[in-house]
Structure 1
């Protein structure tokens, strides 16, 4: 494993986690696909109904690269 691809110590199973809510359906009603995050071990997703809207809540390690990208897009 090269240094660039080595996992960060805080993306392990015991890493602090945060969540981000995303729409579960596209505008035409087609569901989005959910793929696991390969950047952090604590990743998991849950489906939540909030005020009649279905959302997907993804949980990532705080320092996960994908999580930081999702936060900056929000």
Structure 2
């Protein structure tokens, strides 16, 4: 499994919607706080196509 941290909201303050990843069985998400910032951490199978796209796009 691998994880990627994403901001919880867009630049205008609109929160992102979280949808489950149907490409991998171990997918789950958690909200975390890093100082004053709230992030969404998504966990995927390393071979999941969605995970590969997320890490290729970068922050």
What interval of TM-score do these two structures reach, taking the shorter chain for normalisation?
Answer: over 0.9
Stretches of structure 2 lacking an aligned partner (at least 5 in a row): none
CA root-mean-square deviation: 0.4
Moved over 3 A (4+): none
- Bigger relative CO (Cα 8 Å, ≥ 6 apart): 2
The structure with more radius of gyration: 1
Structure 1 gaps of 5+ residues are 1-16
* Count of residue correspondences: 58
TM-score normalised by structure 1 residue count:
0.77
With the length of structure 2 as denominator, give the TM-score of the two structures: 0.96
